[in-house]
Every structure is written in C-alpha cells, then in structure tokens.
Structure 1
Amino acid sequence: MIQFMLVDDESIIVDSLHRLLEGQEDLPLKVWKAYSADEALDLINIIEKTEGQGIDILMSDVMMPGMNGLDLSALIKSRFPELKTLFLSGYSDYTYLQTALHQEAFDYLLKPVDDETVIEAVRKLCLIIEEERRLKEQEKQNGMRLKQAQRMLNDELLRELLEKPLTPQQLADKEESYVQASLSVDQCFILLNGKVDQWPLTYTEIEKMRQREMIMELMVSMLQPQCSIVPYNGSRHLVWLLQVKRMDHDSETCDLPQLHWYLSEELERVQFTIQERMGLSCSFVISGHEVDWLQIGDVNRKMGELLDRAIGLKSEIMQVEQAGEAMSRYQDIQLQPQEIKKQLLALTGLLEAGEFLAFMNELRSFFETIRKSVFLTYERQSEIFITLAGLYLSYMNSRQMTTEVGMKLDLTYLTNFNKHTDWQSFGDYCVRLAEILFLIVGDDAKEQKQEIAEKVDNYIIQNLSRNLTLQQLADHVHLSKFYLSRLYHSQRGYPIYQKIKEQKLNRAKELLLQDDIKIKDVAAELGFENVPYFTTFFRNSLGMSPKEYKQSYQS
C-alpha cells in the first residue's frame, strides 16, 4: 500500500481531494489528510508507528500559515528520502518553482486544478513507486548491486572499445579485462544499437535515464537465454554486444548467422514488450552477423549515424546493410535543404522584428515539420541547431540579456547539441527560451500580452459551464501554462484562478435572482459537480449560502 498525505489549510480543497482519491479503487493508496504542516507531522509519527512505514507521496499547498509546504517537504524528505512530492498552489512565482525543482518535486500543480490532472499525476507517481519497489526486490534477489558495480567497471572499457579505433596490440593488452567483462576475445560480434523514438513531453531527465536502464535490462533478460549479451549505455544510444553462448570449451549452441536470424525475429517481441510495459516506441539497428574486434568501433559509429539521421522513426528494425533501402522508403517525406533555409530565415526575421507570437507559432510549425521528416543527415541537424542557437545568442547578446536569461534557463543546452535526447526535447527548449525572451522584453510586447489576457478573459466568460483548468486556457492561446500564468498575473495584477472564481460568482448571483431557476440548476450551469460543492464555494466567497442570498433579495 502507498501512503499518501494531503496537506492544505483550505479545508474544502483537502476534503474534496480526499474524496476524489479515496474513490479511485484502482490506485493502491491509503490517503491521509491534514489542515496544517504541524498536524501533518504529528500524523506522520502516528502512521509510522501504526503502519510500520513512512509517507510515500506528499501533496501539499505551498503557502500555509506557519510552516510552508516547501519546508514541510524538505523536513519529511530528510526522514524519508524516497518521498515523492506534488506541490499544489495558486502561486506560479519562479522562486517557488525553483525551490521545488531543487527538492526534486515530481510536479507543481497550479490552482485551480481539475480532477483529471490530479488523478493522472498521482497515478504516474504510483506507477513509479511500484516500479521502484519491484526493482528493489529484484535487486535483492539477483544481486543487482554487484552487477551495477561490475557495469561501472566495464563502462570505460566498453566506451574505448566502441568509440575509439582498436589496434591488435591494445586487444592483446586488455584481453584479460575483456574476459572479465564477459566478452570472448576469440569470437566475432553482432552489434545492436537502439534508441527511444520520441520521449513523452512529461518525462524528466531522471525518468528518461531510468527508462533507458529498464530497456537495457529488459533486452538482456529477453535475449540472454540464447546468447552472451553485454549492454552499454552510450551518450546518445543504447548498445548491446552479442556473442554466441558457449556450452563448454568445445561446443556452442548456435553459430553467428543463426543468432543474427534469431535476433531479427526476437526484436519485434522486445519492441512490443517495451511498448506494453513502458508505453515507449523504440527503433533498432542490427549490424552484420560477423563484426570483428578491430572493426567494432567503425561499425558502431556507422550504426549510430544511421540512428542519428532517423529522427522520425516509429518502432523500426533496420539491418545496417539495408540502410539505403530503409531510407528510400521515406524519400517522399524528406525535408529539402532549401525549405529548411527558408523557414530558418523566416524565424530570424520574426524574432528580430519582435513578432513573438508569430515567431512562436512559426517555431512550433518548423519543429513539427522536422519531426515528420524520418531521415535527416546529422550534418543537416547540426546546421539547424547551430543556426537556431546562433539566432538566440545573437538576439540576447545584442540586447545584453544573456545573464538574465541564464538565471531562468540553462543555456548550456544552447551550446551542446548532444545534451538534447531528441528533436522534441530541442524543440521544447527553443519554445521555452522564446517564452522567457517574451517575458523579459516587456514593453515592446505589451500590446501582444494585453491581447492574450483579453483572449483568456473572453474564453473564461464563454466557458463558465466547464471546469476550467490552466492547461485548457494555455492550449487556447498556444502557450505553456507556466508562461501564461505569469503573463496574465503581470497584466491583471491577480492570478487566473481568481478571474475564474470572480466570473463564476458574478454569474451565480445573476442566476439566483431569477425566480424560475433552482439552485441545483445554477450549480450545473457553472460547472459544479454537485450542490454542496457549489454551496461551499458561494459561502466562502460571500459569507452566505445561495439560498440565503436568494431569500435576502426576495424579502
């Protein structure tokens, strides 16, 4: 059972979330609630004694009387280092976000937050915790710590083998080390390279690293019965070295061509298992069936280049000898160099002109086009990266903004292409950077900011019957929710959730004064799931119930 603690000084939020999560029978949760940090700490002591474990997940408001949510999380994490934290707040201040990130918070949810978003975040955390527990148990049973320690010793050896030319003398000198790494120096290899085609937008770097490790271990567990397999987690791709498994010194289970055929057939099952268990699409490149020790670095480089070019693959399995055939299948949807240059030139003009909304729309369109192109040479990819990086750096330097921007976003991602795991990652980074520039420029974009705020206001007024979320509003104006929250607050002087609350309250008062409408109909029209929830909202806002308000005007 996963122990879940809810903490917020607003009782209506705590009670509502408690009911919501208690009703999710598919989630392995035991939900506790507290209305202050002090009450939560007292309750944790009781839980530890009665349940024999600490808190696994903390969902806490940030700003509370007394101890705030950030300090509460840090204090609980000092006792239970594996604590996962979800912050819930009406504040989107960068300082709070930065502190939450330093504490490795799983997410920072801005009020008002809809039920679906909460359940999705909690469900993902439950899956992470269950997976961590499973891995721990597996680690105990199979001696994972010993295997991980051995891999650390092997990594440098494998890196040199795969990434540098190997001479006969070096092979002889390190023969004993290769044997210790479970490699047979008198056999050739089959080389397998793989990558995740596209990471989900919600994945953090830590999650990506964990998933890569899981893919590597899954491949080993599924193929090991038929061959000797050594994994290597490369800087850009996953690599596996396969050799024939020997039964004794004189016999072997199969030869390399048989193993090559088996691998080609089995990879589809591996892909299906990864998709089923992890929800990820992976593509693989298989070498020829006899890679010599002295050829392995060159073959690995060519296979890596093929995967680097393949930016739009979906669960592909390619033989390195048939790469030309694979690329020809997608020839009709390849992006032409002149088209790339045309779009990059348009982006340069829009940024220099300060047309930020048009720039961001064009930027998203550009990366969408890039992602549809299945194969793109690494040289062309580098050209795009260098052009966009130069565009941003030139813009920031000419306006002496680089230091200020660097305080809000890690600019090393703008100078090192290899830090981005895929083109989606780089595209998201470029959009985020554009949003930060938009914020800093300020007065030059004042009219555009005002236009966005007015669009949000109109959308709220036209959709009062819906349970509006910040993400829905952000999607409407094609911005990220964090950027929209800051922009709107800077324009209006109050957060978006306050505008939603104000409009719902004003509309509720208008409807309640109509003789022929019932309170339950008012609640339904304004998107409240039930009358008690609407009544609590109304009373907290005006100090009287809807019924009392209606009667006060009738008398």
Structure 2
Amino acid sequence: MSGYADFAFLQGALRQGAYDYLLKPADEDAIFGLMEGAVETIEREIDEMEMMAKAKAQLLSAQPLLLQDFVQRLLGPGIDSLADIQEQLNFLDRPMRSDNAVMLMMARIDRWPPHLTSNDRLLLEYACNNIMLEHLSPVSQRLAVKMETYMLWMIQPAEDNGVPLRDAGQTYLYVKEMLEKIQVSVRQILNLPLSIVLSRPMKNWRCLRSEYRSMSELFSQGIGLEEEIILVDVPPVDRPPELDKRPQEAVFALQTLLESGETEAFKNELIDYFRHTQKTVFVDYTYQQEVYCSLGAMFLAYINKKRLVNEVKESGLDLALLSDFKAHVNWDELLDYFVKLSDILFRQMEMKKTDQKQHIVDYVDRYMIRNLNGDLSLQQLAKQVHLSPYYLSRLYHSEKGYTLAERLIELKIAKAKQLLGNDFIKVQQVSLELGFENFSYFSKYFKKHVGMTPQEYRDHAR
C-alpha cells in the first residue's frame, strides 16, 4: 500500500515481483485476504522449489544410466542431429559442444586378479577413471562411460568462458603423450595392466559411430593377445605368414587327441597352438573368432556326444563362455578356460570309463551265472557286450584281477558243489546242468579242480 498516486510506481512494483495491490481505503478483510493469498503463493513456490531440488537430486543419481543410454544411442542408430546431441549434453549437464570436434579413447583392464568380486572390479574401474581424469583434466573436458568390457571417453579441449585453452590438434597431441603415463600410474597404483586405444584426430560427433566400430575392431586385433598395449591410429596390419595354417587343421589334431583320451598330449598341443597364434600382437579379429569358434564347436560336439553337459555344469564352469568370445578378457584367460574344460572332460570320461568297465564285467558275470549249461566261449561272451574277444579278455582281467577262464571255472565248480549237495539230483544230471555232455569229461574236470571225483565229493559231504 502506498500513498503515491503515480501509476508508474505501481507498474514498477509489479514488475519487481509485487504480489498484488490495494486501493485505499481498504478494510481488514481485504488486507488479510490478500495477505493469505500471498502466503499460499509463497508456500506453493517453496513446494515447487523443493520438488525441483528432489528431481535434480534424483537426476544426478540416475545420471550414469542416462549418460550410458545417451552414448549407446549416439554410437548406435539413435541420434544423428547435432542439435539433439547438444540438447542431450545440456540435459546431462556436460560442458561439451556438439559443433566442436571430439576424439574417442577406449581402455580395458587386461587381466583381473582372480580373487576380486564384481564390486571390487567396479571400484577399481572407478579408481582407474579417476587416474585418467587427473592426467587429462588440465587440458580437456570429458564424457566417460562403461561400454561392454571397455571404458570409453569422449574428449574435447577444455574451455575458459567459452574459449578453448588449446586447439584440437594440441589437445590430441597432449592426450597422446599422456597415454603411457596413465598406463604406468594404473599399474603402479592399482597393480592392474591397462591397454588403451586412441582414435584418429578429432572427428565430428556424427562420425563417432563408425570411429567406435573401427576402434573396437582395432582393439580386438591388438588387445587380447598381449597386455598393456597402446594403439594410436594404427593402420590395418596383414596377417603374418605363420598364421596361414587354418584353425580347422589344428582342431582336427586336437579332436583326435580329445577323442582318444590322451590328456597330456592334448594339453600340450592346445598350449602350443595358442602360443603359435600369439606370435604377433596383431591378428585379424575375424581370424581370432575363427579360432575361438572352431575350438568351441569341438568342445561342444564332444560334450554332447559324451552327454557330459550336466557334469560340466556341476563342476561350476560356465558353458556359456563357449559362445561368448568377448567375455574372455584376453587369450591367456581363454586358454586357461579351455584347459580347465578339458581337465573336467577327461576326468569325467575316466570316471565314466571306470563305471562302464565295471558294468561290462558285472554283466558278463551275470550272463555266465545264468547260462552255465550253455555256450560260454570267449567269442560268445564278447558278442554279448559288443566287444572283441581279445579286448573283453584284457578288460575283465584288468578289472577283476583274474581271467575269464578262471572265473568260469570258479562258477562251474561252485554250482557243481551246490547241486551235488542235493541227494535227489543224480551226478549225471549235475554234469548236464553245467553244460558237460560227456560225464567222463565232467568227472575229470571236477577232480582236477577239487581233488576228488563228483561222487567222492558227495560221499564226503554226507
């Protein structure tokens, strides 16, 4: 309320944010009514401010996910317009400009200590990112995310009041010089081997998609066979002549050893093949996949053929790693996986062989017991278990410690003694029950192994 009669004064007050005005004279109801309205407006504004503060806090907590989603769409088919890119950068509160060039940098921990949990790895990746920031903060502004097994950075020159501190070329050279220092710091502080790929000099944001694909391929070519590699704009490298041998040839030799159960020879051949492939740092990614797929198919075919799926799963080894090449950090880890898998397979097959052998000799025993008066020649017994006579004879002896002939004698004599103990069965009938058509031969056979004739044994038993 004012004593001024000048309307311009009222106009100025309203422009400065005055809630309302009253004309005099005004009664108490009008004054208090207006004051209550002003208080409600202020309370509503405070509520809105609190809601905005909460929303902002939630946005900050969700920013890593939003940032990841933005980068995935940026590197995929999701965002093409520079205006849309800038809008997303502003929304994510990233001080970067879509109308300026950008460079990509990718890094990966080559080998993790075996005792680390998933949370431990996340913390170490966070620490690795902080080391990267310390080295690059003076000259650049960055956007950092995790993509698959890679840590990915998008880098632009740092600015002061909108003015770049360095041009794009100077920033690129500075980052390039810092790579080895970053690698050394990660090794010394975190005790982790880090490999890094830096893109070619800065690119338009819309070129990042193709740049990321070519870097991923370059990363796969040069990183994975060795540790702590730095790749900067490396041109394609021809496959060396020592890799002319196709994976199928090596796999055929390995498959033969696997099928024949030659454990040590298989391991040695597998390790030699991996070392042969690792003679050069740069191996075509498609060639690596061919090697991996060929070996994976060999193992899967063997597992299915021998029905060992459940046994492998129970061992704790993940069979899904046979079809996910990128899940293996490097070739040493892949070799370790294949060696562990082969150990499990050989061990299970040895157990199955033992069980199978025991089943065969037990079956032969049961067959002989049920058919003591029939054909129990070695050829006939071998036919029952679908083995060669020689192999069955050797198998039975190795499992039981005595020969089939000795076992047959033991069974026939035991049965003969049992029957002779029954006075109602004639001795000649005992002979027929045991498959002896000639009683005289049975009598000699019995006396040879017992020391007395069948009749003498019956008399003695009485």
Normalising by structure 1, report the TM-score: 0.49
SS across alignment from 2:125: helix
Gaps of 5+ in 1: 1-144, 447-555
Q: In 2 relative to 1, CA 217–245 (structure 1 residues): closer, same or farther, beyond 3 Å?
A: same
Task: State the 1:147 CA deviation.
Answer: 6.8
Distance in 1 separating the partners of 2:249 and 2:114:
28
Q: Does 1:342 align with 2:253?
A: no
Distance in 1 separating the partners of 2:228 and 2:281:
12
Q: Which residue of 2 aligns with 1:274?
A: 186
SS across alignment from 1:323: coil
Gaps of 5+ in 2: 1-57, 355-462
Q: Does 1:213 align with 2:121?
A: no
Rg (Cα) greater in structure: 2
Distance in 1 separating the partners of 2:118 and 2:287:
25
Task: State the 1:347 CA deviation.
Answer: 0.9
Q: Which residue of 2 aligns with 1:189?
A: 102
Distance in 2 separating the partners of 1:200 and 1:366:
25
Task: State the 1:219 CA deviation.
Answer: 0.7
Q: In 2 relative to 1, CA 323–394 (structure 1 residues): closer, same or farther, beyond 3 Å?
A: same
Match of 2:318 among 410, 425, 446: 410
SS across alignment from 2:144: strand
Q: Which residue of 1 aligns with 2:328?
A: 420
Q: Does 1:352 align with 2:264?
A: no
Q: In 2 relative to 1, CA 159–371 (structure 1 residues): closer, same or farther, beyond 3 Å?
A: same
Task: State the 1:303 CA deviation.
Answer: 0.8
| Percent identity (aligned) | 26
Q: Does 1:253 align with 2:173?
A: no
Q: Does 1:300 align with 2:212?
A: yes
Task: State the 1:313 CA deviation.
Answer: 4.1
Distance in 2 separating the partners of 1:389 and 1:316:
27
Q: In 2 relative to 1, CA 419–387 (structure 1 residues): closer, same or farther, beyond 3 Å?
A: same
Task: State the 1:148 CA deviation.
Answer: 6.6
Q: In 2 relative to 1, CA 150–166 (structure 1 residues): closer, same or farther, beyond 3 Å?
A: closer
Q: Which residue of 2 aligns with 1:161?
A: 74
Distance in 2 separating the partners of 1:347 and 1:290:
47
For residues 383-421 of structure 1, the C-alpha deviation after alignment (integer angstroms, 9 at most, x for no partner) is 111111111111111111112212222211112222222
SS across alignment from 1:187: coil
Q: Which residue of 2 aligns with 1:385?
A: 292
Q: Output the aligned Cα RMSD.
A: 2.7
SS across alignment from 2:213: helix
Distance in 1 separating the partners of 2:191 and 2:144:
21
Contact 1:197 1:312 in 2 (8 A): no
Match of 1:317 among 230, 251, 254: 230
Distance in 1 separating the partners of 2:247 and 2:195:
25
Q: In 2 relative to 1, CA 252–260 (structure 1 residues): closer, same or farther, beyond 3 Å?
A: same
Normalising by structure 2, report the TM-score: 0.58
* 1:12-411 alignment runs, 5 A limit: 149-164=62-77, 166-168=79-81, 171-181=82-92, 182=94, 183-200=96-113, 207-249=120-162, 251-310=163-222, 311-320=224-233, 322-324=234-236, 327=237, 335-338=242-245, 340-408=247-315, 409-411=317-319
* 1:487-506 alignment runs, 5 A limit: none
Distance in 2 separating the partners of 1:368 and 1:199:
21
